[in-house]
Structure 1
Amino acid sequence: MTFRAAEILSRVDLVACEDTRRTGLLFKHFDIRNRLLSYHDHNKLRRTPEILEMLKQGKRVALVTDAGTPGVSDPGFYLIRAAIERGQRVVPVPGASAILSALVVSGLPSDRFTFEGFLPRRQGRRHKRLVSLKDEMRTMVFYESARRVSKSLSEMLELLGDRNVVVGRELTKRHEEVIRGRLSEVFAELAKRSLKGETVVVVAGNERRD
């Protein structure tokens, strides 16, 4: 966390977060004392009007996520869009970003890339998405849960072909790990292991030139 982020989180009137317990531990580490309000996928429809009313009253609200940057593959997007639609000012406070961290350490071209978020859970939709990306020439960045990453790598190998891939686990954290190689190699390595933590997969684009 940056000094600026810690200062802002100390000064605002309310901090909306996915999990008050996890954010509470973070606040304890940085000696931040402030009010926390849970905001996640299961309560966003109820919480959003509450937070918008606070903003209307002139209150300052910060939004944090369990990991990474709010609004990127998490429910923060819903609140941010609602606040903008109502003319509220939204100020970014940069911090750790798994997307950019993984891209930087991947060694793959980063001048042009596409962020695909999480692949669909249903196999049919997941395969359809991967097939649509087979000819994508830009570097591709995916989020994936640690328990599904081996399966996703197997499907990428089958549908995209054997190409370079980088798997980043717990990036910017204490147990950070980066695994590089061909899809076949990294899949074989991870199939023997049980991963934990936040995972990012960076896949090389199609290098074919028609």
Structure 2
Amino acid sequence: MMGKLYIVPTPIGNLKDMTLRGLEVLKEADFVAAEDTRQTLKLLNHFGIKKSLISYHQHNENGKSQDLIDLLEQGKNIALVSDAGTPGISDPGCVVIRECIKKNLNFEVLPGATAITTAVVNSGLDTTGFTFKGFLPRENKDRTAVIEKLKNSQETLIFYEAPHRLLNTLQFLLDNLGNRRMATCRELTKIHEEIYRNNIKDVIEYFKDKNPRGEFVLVVEGKTDEEIEMEQRSSWENMSIAEHIRKYINEGLSKKEAVKKVAKDRNMQKSEVYKHSIEL
């Protein structure tokens, strides 16, 4: 009989956020695979759980994934945990999950703590859609390539960041996204939890003279309808009405469609705009 892999979220700060079901799995599993065995040992000791620990992190994930698969095929049940939050989110858990899918092995993902949802709800920004990108790359050209794909998104953007890179990353976001609204979420669920909501410029000023500590989640407003409207307006506001119509025709619209779109852009009657299209 095959074993089963359990993906077990662990608290992101407050140990009381450990779920009853998560504790049950940790108690009953044959092994616990951990990103940092020292960190996980503290968690297990806190709840009086004694288990054999397997080190499983980004530097040994490929070799260790096979070891975990071998144990599952031998009928052993394994609980996979990260240092904090849900395994598979910005950590190597996704590698062994893919292997389980590939080999048709049983696994189960338990719901539980994650900094992403805690931060986005705390931010007060739009939660109907959001994009999580984890840590931005260190190299400027690499992170510029990432932000280029995101800057026109109207979804709320979520990033992780370390305290020593906070100001640099905030300035990068300001330079590339403009002065959008955002929330910085520090030490979530811990004693010194801090949520600071403001525009990016003011957030930079707030942290400039501080010595920020703890892990940060940065939640940034997506591009607003007003920004999009202003950008669209700037693309035609210096054109004549005829040039404006020609612009849309060159983009592939029929004359009729172009006239309709120009009338909407300029808040004019279609009949008035049409007069300027006769010569086109």
* Cα distance in 2 between the residues matched to 1:124 and 1:194: 27
The aligned amino acid for 1:103 is V
Work out whether 1:96 is the aligned partner of 2:141: no
| Structure 2 counterpart of 1:46 | 63
Alignment check: 8 A CA contact 1:68 1:95 kept = yes
* Secondary structure at the counterpart of residue 23 of structure 2: helix
Alignment check: 8 A CA contact 1:106 1:166 kept = yes
| Structure 2 counterpart of 1:77 | 94
* Range that drifts further, 129-138 or 198-207: 129-138
| Structure 2 counterpart of 1:148 | 165
Aligned identity (percent) is: 43
Q: State the 1:193 CA deviation.
A: 1.7
Alignment partner of 1:170 out of 187, 190, 195: 187
| Structure 1 counterpart of 2:264 | none
| Structure 2 counterpart of 1:192 | 209
What residue ranges of structure 1 are gaps of 5+ in the alignment?
none
* Range that drifts further, 90-99 or 128-137: 128-137
Alignment check: 8 A CA contact 1:139 1:204 kept = yes
**RMSD (Å), alpha carbons:** 1.1
Work out whether 1:12 is the aligned partner of 2:29: yes
* Cα distance in 2 between the residues matched to 1:196 and 1:63: 28
What residue ranges of structure 2 are gaps of 5+ in the alignment?
1-17, 230-280
| Structure 1 counterpart of 2:147 | 130
Q: Note the alpha carbon deviations across 1:185-205, whole angstroms, 9 max, x for none.
A: 111111222222221100000
* Range that drifts further, 8-17 or 189-198: 189-198
| Structure 1 counterpart of 2:178 | 161
Divergent runs of 4+, >6 A: none
- The structure in which a higher percent of residues are helix is 2
* Secondary structure at the counterpart of residue 148 of structure 1: helix
Q: Note the alpha carbon deviations across 1:3-40, whole angstroms, 9 max, x for none.
A: 11111101100000011101101111111111111100
Work out whether 1:32 is the aligned partner of 2:23: no
Work out whether 1:3 is the aligned partner of 2:20: yes
Work out whether 1:108 is the aligned partner of 2:108: no
Larger Rg: 2
* Range that drifts further, 120-129 or 199-208: 120-129
* Cα distance in 1 between the residues matched to 2:55 and 2:214: 21
Q: State the 1:175 CA deviation.
A: 2.4
* Cα distance in 2 between the residues matched to 1:38 and 1:93: 20
Q: Note the alpha carbon deviations across 1:144-202, whole angstroms, 9 max, x for none.
A: 11211211101101111001011111212232211110000111111222222221100
Instruction: Give the alignment's TM-score, normalised by structure 2.
Output: 0.73
Q: Number of matched residues?
A: 210
Alignment check: 8 A CA contact 1:131 1:160 kept = no
The aligned amino acid for 1:189 is Y
The aligned amino acid for 2:62 is L
Q: Note the alpha carbon deviations across 1:78-116, whole angstroms, 9 max, x for none.
A: 111111111111211122110000011100000111111
Alignment check: 8 A CA contact 1:69 1:95 kept = yes
Instruction: Give the alignment's TM-score, normalised by structure 1.
Output: 0.96
Work out whether 1:181 is the aligned partner of 2:198: yes
